[in-house]
């Protein structure tokens, strides 16, 4: 027991100091005021949270949530069939198929967004091609608008959707499908009544991952979006790096973090309810 504590202590202390403490300071700063020069002064105030109610910020908040919802929906429509196809591959092809989906996940959003800039910009691949073919006379404004941001988000976050769905399909009890077909269910009916409902936890996990990640995203709108495509992530970035309003930036990021954590906790609660029995086992151990 003592040895166990010694082994885990360095990692825990590190995370307390470089993760726990900074978060507490951000919470404190979010209730602080600032001088005209951007210095933080610790006078307790709710003003930073009240500022959300200004129409400008409400609009950005609504835009962010809307973008995140649409991104989640589109990645689901693309991710579910892809995960399903991988699970139907012969066993030895499944791992490579999965790695193929996961590789882009590890390449950073900056480079992946930039790849789209090369394709979509006014002297980019698509516009050059269309101009050469004579289909257009003016380059189309494909980049630096809200659609480009949406495309970039879907592109960046698709792997987050595929993996949890694949895991839940893989864990499916195949005897249930056999039972369904023995009872005369057509494959599509079996899918609709058995496979899909049973893989909903995977869908929920993927959706939460995509939704949370798009809420906090600032790279994609920064690289692919126009002047009006700012989302919460860009607003936070601005408060810290150009506007130097750290208290307001802190309150924004606390709201973002709390939103993310609430969604994750709700998800775990829902999963535990479903599994029921395993929950008790954990308590015993």
3-state secondary structure of 172: coil
CB of 131 to other proteins, least distance (A): 9
CB of 81 to other proteins, least distance (A): 5
- Residue number with CB closer to other proteins (44 or 106): 106
Round to whole Å and give the CA distance between 85 and 87.
5
CB of 22 to other proteins, least distance (A): 4
Answer yes or no: are the C-beta atoms of 149 and 67 closer than 8 Å: yes
- Interaction residues for other proteins, span 134-193 (CB under 8 A): 155, 158-159, 170, 187-188
List the x/- string, 72-111, binding to other proteins by CB under 8 A.
------x--xx-xxx-x-----xx---xxxxxx-xxxxxx
- Residue number with CB closer to other proteins (55 or 234): 234
Question: What is the per-residue DSSP string for 124-179?
Answer: SHHHHHHHHHTS-SS----SSSHHHHHHHHHHHHHHHHHHHHHHHHHTS-HHHHHH
DSSP-assigned letter for residue 121 = S
Q: Does 218 bind other proteins (CB under 8 A)?
A: yes
- Residue number with CB closer to other proteins (171 or 274): 171
Q: Does 283 bind other proteins (CB under 8 A)?
A: no
- Interaction residues for other proteins, span 35-54 (CB under 8 A): none
Residues 6+ apart with CB under 8 A from 264: 208, 212
Q: Does 237 bind other proteins (CB under 8 A)?
A: yes
Round to whole Å and give the CA distance between 149 and 214.
11
- Residue number with CB closer to other proteins (60 or 223): 223
Round to whole Å and give the CA distance between 108 and 106.
6
């Amino acid at each position: 027991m003592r040895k166990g504590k010694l082994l885990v202590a360095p990692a825990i202390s590190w995370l307390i100091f470089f993760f726990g403490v900074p978060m507490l300071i951000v919470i404190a700063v979010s209730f602080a005021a600032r001088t005209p020069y951007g210095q933080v002064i610790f006078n307790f105030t709710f003003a930073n949270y009240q500022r959300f109610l200004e129409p400008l910020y409400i609009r950005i908040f609504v835009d962010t949530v809307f973008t995140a919802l649409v991104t989640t929906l589109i990645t689901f429509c693309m991710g579910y069939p892809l995960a399903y196809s991988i699970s139907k591959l012969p066993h030895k092809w499944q791992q490579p198929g999965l790695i193929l989906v996961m590789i882009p996940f590890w390449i950073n959003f900056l480079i992946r967004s930039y790849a789209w800039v090369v394709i979509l910009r006014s002297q980019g691949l698509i516009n050059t091609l269309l101009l050469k073919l004579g289909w257009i006379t003016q380059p189309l404004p494909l980049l630096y608008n809200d659609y480009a941001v949406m495309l970039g988000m879907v592109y960046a976050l698709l792997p987050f959707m595929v993996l949890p769905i694949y895991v839940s399909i893989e864990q499916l009890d195949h005897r249930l499908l056999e039972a369904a077909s023995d009872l005369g269910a057509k494959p599509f009916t079996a899918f609709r009544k058995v496979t899909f409902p049973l893989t909903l936890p995977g869908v929920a996990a993927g959706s939460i991952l995509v939704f949370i990640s798009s809420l906090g995203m600032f790279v994609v709108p920064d690289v692919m979006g126009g002047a009006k495509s700012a989302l919460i992530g860009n607003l936070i970035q601005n408060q810290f790096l150009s506007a130097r309003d750290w208290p307001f930036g802190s309150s924004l990021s606390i709201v973002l973090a709390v939103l993310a954590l609430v969604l994750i906790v709700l998800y775990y609660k829902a999963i535990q309810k479903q599994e029921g029995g395993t929950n008790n086992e954990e308590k015993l151990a």
